[in-house]
Structure 1
C-alpha cells in the first residue's frame, strides 16, 4: 500500500511542480528519493546512487550520439536559414488560405528530415507566427500546429523517422526504423488528417466569433531576417539523411557479412548507427555547401552540441525516476495487473507504455522504461517484433504530453503563450490524436494481421 501511495504522490508532485516550471533535473532525483523513503523499501540515498544514477547513465550511454548529432544538425539548419527557406517554399506553394497545413507540413518535413524536436520548435516558431498572422488565425493555435508536426506522427508513427525514439526499440527487438510500414503509415494518416481537420475547424470557429491573430508584443520575429539558401540547397541535407538512413539500414548493416564482423568482435549492430551516420554526413555537407550563410560556424556547432545536453539529461533524469519507481514492489504488482488483464496482448503493450510515458512526462523516457522492464514479457506474448516496435512508440506518444511534460513547457515558452491559452488544443493534437491512431492501428492489425 505504501509503495502505491509513493508512486501516486510523487507522480502528482512531478506533474504539479513541472507545471509550475521547476526543472526535472532537480525534481526527478528528489522525487525518486521521496518515493523510496515513503515506500520504506529502499534507503533514499541508495535509491539515488544505486538505482537512479545507473538508470540515467544507461540511457545517456545508449542515445547520446543520436541527441548530439540531431541537435547540431538542427542548429545548422536554423542558423544557415535552410529551415526558413524550406518553410517559405512550402507556404508559398500551399498559400495563405492553408496556413495551418503549411505550418504542420513544414514542421513535419524538418522533423522527419532529422531535425531534433526541440530544435524544430525554435526554428519553426518565427515562420509559424508569420504564416498564422498573415492568415489572421489565432496565435493560440500555433503550439498545437507545431506539436502536430513535430511531436506526433513524424516522431513515432512514420516509418523511417530518424528521431531517437524510433531508434530505441531496435536495440531490444532487432528491428529497424522502418518497422511495420503499413501500420505506421495508417497511424500517420489518421493523426495528420484528423489533426489538421480539427485545427482548421477551431480556426474557422474563431473566425466566426471575430477572433483574429491577436495582439502579441515582443514576439521575437527577428529570425526571419537575413540571407538564406535556395530551396534546392536547403532540402539537400534532409535528402542526405533520408538516403543514407535507408541504404545503411536496409542494405549495409542488414548484410550478413557486416553482422558477422561485429558478432566476431563481440558486439551487435546498433539500430541507432544509421541515423547518427546520416546526420553526421549531412552536418559536414552543410558546413561545406552553406558556409557563406554561417556567421560563426564553430559557435553554431558548439551551441548545437550544448543544446543537446538539456534534452538528454532531462529525459535521463525522468528515466532515473522511473528506474526507482520500477524497483518498488508496488510497480511489479501494477505490471502484473496489466499483463493479467483479459484483453488482447497488443492492448496490454499500448496501455502499459502510454501509462509509463505519462508518469515520467516523456515519450522517450516512458519507452526506455517499458523496453527495459517489459520488452521480454512483450516478446513472450508472441507479438511480431515490428508491431511491438511501432505500437510501443506510438502509444508512448499519447499520455507523454500531459501538462508536466518538458517539451510542452518548452514549446509554450518559445511561443510566448501559456497552458491556459493553448493547452486544450495542444493536448487534442498530442494526446487525443495519437491515442485514437494507435487504437485504430492495433485493431487493424488484429483484424488483418498486416504489418
Structure 2
C-alpha cells in the first residue's frame, strides 16, 4: 500500500499541476495522500517533514531567487536586456538570424537575467528578425529554448542558474564544478541544436514556407494568463505577473552599460568561488548559532549571491538615469521571486515526505540498482523527477534531498569526484523537464502566440535531444577520465 500511495501522490501532483492548480496547495495534499496510504501520521508529516524541508530549501536558496529576480527586473526596466540582445543581433546580421537569437538568449541568461524576463524581451526581437529574413516563426521558440534553457542553464561553468546552485550544498561543490566537461557538454548542445535549426530552416525554404501569420498581443495575454503563471512559477525563478510592474525605460541602454553587469556576474562568481572564499577563515561556521555547518556547504550559494548583488549595484550605477522608478522596479523584482521560490519549496516538501515513507526504500533500491553505475542512476533519477514535476529545480532538489547523501557515500567508496556528480545531476535535471507541461515551454509558446502542434517538435530536438546527447558524453568521459 505504501508504494501505491507514492504512485497515487505523484499522479495527483502531475495531473492537477498540468491543469493549472497551484503547487502551494497540491504538493502538501499529494504528500498527505501518499502518507495516508502508507499508514503514516499525517500531521507529523505535514509539520515536521513537509514544512521543515520546504523551509530548509528557502533558507538555502531564497537569496538566489530574490537577487536573481531583482537583477532581471532592473536589467529589463533599464533597457539593458534589449540593448544586449540587440547588440548580438546587429553583430551577426540578417544572414545569421537564428544564431543571433540563440546567442542573444545565451548572453543574457548566462549573465544572470531571469528566464522569463529574457522571454519577454527576446521574443519581439526574434519575431522582427525572423520576419525580415522570411524564416517560419514556428522556429522561434526552439531558437530561444536553445539559447536560454540548455547549456546556459545546466552545463556552462559558473552559470548562476538556480539549477546549478542546488547541488552545491549537497556535494560541497562550486558553480564551476567539472568545467571541462561542462564546456564539452555546452558545445554539444549548441552545435547539435544549431545544426537542427539550420536543417529545419533549409527544409522550410525549400518547401516555400515563409514567416506566416502573426498573433498580435500574445505576449500581453500571456503575462495576464493565470494558467501560464501557475505553470511558470514552478519552472523558473520569476513570476510573469510582475513583468509589467515598475517602469521601463523607453530608450535602450548603451551597449557597455548593458553588458558590463552581465560580465560582473560571471567575474565576481569566479573570483568568489576560486580566490576569495577559499582564503577566508570561516571556522565560526561550526558554531551552533550558524547551524554547525561548513564552508563547503555554503560557499556555492555565497558566491552566486555576492555575484548577483554586485551586478545589481552595477546595473543601478550604470543605468541610474534610465531607472525612472527604482523603488517600484526593485519591488516588482522582489515580488516576482516569492511565488516561484515557495512553489519549488512546496515540491521539495512533497519529495521529503515521499522519501520519509518506509516504502520509499523500494524506490531507492531500484534507482541504485540501475545498470551503468551511480552516474547513470543519478542521471535517471533527476530525469524522471524533473519530467514528473515539469521543473528542473524541483525535480533536482527532490532527487538530492532523497538520495544526495547516498551518492556522497557512494562517491567516497568508489572514488567518483563529487564535481562530476554535480554536473551529471544538473544536466540530467535539464533534459526531460522540457516536456509539454513544463512551465517555461507553456509560457514561451503563449508569448509567441504559437501552439505545441506548431513548435514543440523542434523544441524537443534542441532542448531534450541535445541535452541527452551531452549527458551521455559527460557520463562516458567522466567514467573514463574523471572530473576535469
| TM-score of the pair, normalised by structure 2 | 0.87
**Do the aligned residues in 1 keep the contact of 2:218 with 2:446 (CA within 8 Å)?**
no
- In the other structure, the counterpart of 1:326 is 355
Q: CA deviation at 1:365?
A: 1.3
Alignment of 1:283-294 (within 5 A): 283-294=312-323
In structure 2, relative to structure 1, the CA distance for the partners of 1:428 and 1:280 (3 Å cut) is same
**Do the aligned residues in 2 keep the contact of 1:70 with 1:114 (CA within 8 Å)?**
yes
Paired with 2:251 and 2:408, the residues of 1 have a C-alpha distance of 52
In structure 2, relative to structure 1, the CA distance for the partners of 1:30 and 1:428 (3 Å cut) is farther
- In the other structure, the counterpart of 1:252 is 276
**Do the aligned residues in 1 keep the contact of 2:218 with 2:448 (CA within 8 Å)?**
no
SS at match of 2:430: helix
SS at match of 1:329: coil
1:30 aligns with 2:63: no
**Do the aligned residues in 2 keep the contact of 1:15 with 1:403 (CA within 8 Å)?**
no
- In the other structure, the counterpart of 1:432 is 465
**Do the aligned residues in 2 keep the contact of 1:318 with 1:362 (CA within 8 Å)?**
no
1:397 aligns with 2:397: no
Which of 436, 440, 444 is the aligned partner of 1:407?
440
- In the other structure, the counterpart of 2:342 is 313
Paired with 2:126 and 2:12, the residues of 1 have a C-alpha distance of 33
Q: CA deviation at 1:242?
A: 1.5
Q: CA deviation at 1:44?
A: 4.5
SS at match of 1:287: helix
Paired with 2:460 and 2:274, the residues of 1 have a C-alpha distance of 35
- In the alignment, structure 1 segments of 5+ residues that lack a partner are none
Paired with 2:458 and 2:96, the residues of 1 have a C-alpha distance of 18
1:268 aligns with 2:294: yes
SS at match of 1:343: coil
Which of 386, 391, 394 is the aligned partner of 2:419?
386
Cα RMSD (Å) of the superposition? Answer: 2.2
Once the two structures are superposed, residues 163-219 of structure 1 have per-residue CA deviations (whole angstroms, 9 ceiling, x without a partner) of 122122221222111110111111111111111211222222223223222212324
Q: CA deviation at 1:267?
A: 4.3
Paired with 1:413 and 1:359, the residues of 2 have a C-alpha distance of 22
Once the two structures are superposed, residues 362-414 of structure 1 have per-residue CA deviations (whole angstroms, 9 ceiling, x without a partner) of 11112212222212221222310110111111111112222232222232233
Paired with 2:134 and 2:43, the residues of 1 have a C-alpha distance of 54
Paired with 1:213 and 1:42, the residues of 2 have a C-alpha distance of 57
Paired with 1:298 and 1:225, the residues of 2 have a C-alpha distance of 14
Which of 123, 126, 141 is the aligned partner of 1:125?
123
1:280 aligns with 2:309: yes
Q: Decide which moves more: 108-117 or 327-336.
A: 327-336
| TM-score of the pair, normalised by structure 1 | 0.93
- In the other structure, the counterpart of 1:54 is 52
- In the other structure, the counterpart of 2:234 is none
- In the other structure, the counterpart of 1:73 is 71
Q: Decide which moves more: 429-438 or 43-52.
A: 43-52
Q: Decide which moves more: 351-360 or 20-29.
A: 20-29
Q: Decide which moves more: 398-407 or 380-389.
A: 398-407
SS at match of 2:253: coil
Q: Decide which moves more: 279-288 or 388-397.
A: 279-288
In structure 2, relative to structure 1, the CA distance for the partners of 1:96 and 1:260 (3 Å cut) is same
- In the other structure, the counterpart of 1:63 is 61
Paired with 2:25 and 2:138, the residues of 1 have a C-alpha distance of 30
**Do the aligned residues in 1 keep the contact of 2:120 with 2:219 (CA within 8 Å)?**
no
- In the other structure, the counterpart of 2:181 is 183
Once the two structures are superposed, residues 252-295 of structure 1 have per-residue CA deviations (whole angstroms, 9 ceiling, x without a partner) of 1011x433354467543311112111111211222122121122
Paired with 1:210 and 1:12, the residues of 2 have a C-alpha distance of 44
Q: Decide which moves more: 54-63 or 14-23.
A: 14-23
Which of 149, 157, 160 is the aligned partner of 1:159?
157
SS at match of 1:228: coil
**Do the aligned residues in 2 keep the contact of 1:180 with 1:387 (CA within 8 Å)?**
yes
**Do the aligned residues in 2 keep the contact of 1:140 with 1:421 (CA within 8 Å)?**
yes
Paired with 2:207 and 2:257, the residues of 1 have a C-alpha distance of 42
In structure 2, relative to structure 1, the CA distance for the partners of 1:395 and 1:238 (3 Å cut) is same
Alignment of 1:213-228 (within 5 A): 213-219=211-217, 226-228=250-252
- In the alignment, structure 2 segments of 5+ residues that lack a partner are 221-243
Once the two structures are superposed, residues 30-54 of structure 1 have per-residue CA deviations (whole angstroms, 9 ceiling, x without a partner) of 32233333x2332555443333222
Number of matched pairs: 448
- In the other structure, the counterpart of 2:208 is 210
**Do the aligned residues in 2 keep the contact of 1:391 with 1:442 (CA within 8 Å)?**
yes
- In the other structure, the counterpart of 1:442 is 475
**Do the aligned residues in 1 keep the contact of 2:390 with 2:435 (CA within 8 Å)?**
yes
In structure 2, relative to structure 1, the CA distance for the partners of 1:47 and 1:319 (3 Å cut) is same
SS at match of 2:278: coil
In structure 2, relative to structure 1, the CA distance for the partners of 1:53 and 1:419 (3 Å cut) is farther
Paired with 2:136 and 2:349, the residues of 1 have a C-alpha distance of 39
1:299 aligns with 2:328: yes
Paired with 2:110 and 2:89, the residues of 1 have a C-alpha distance of 18
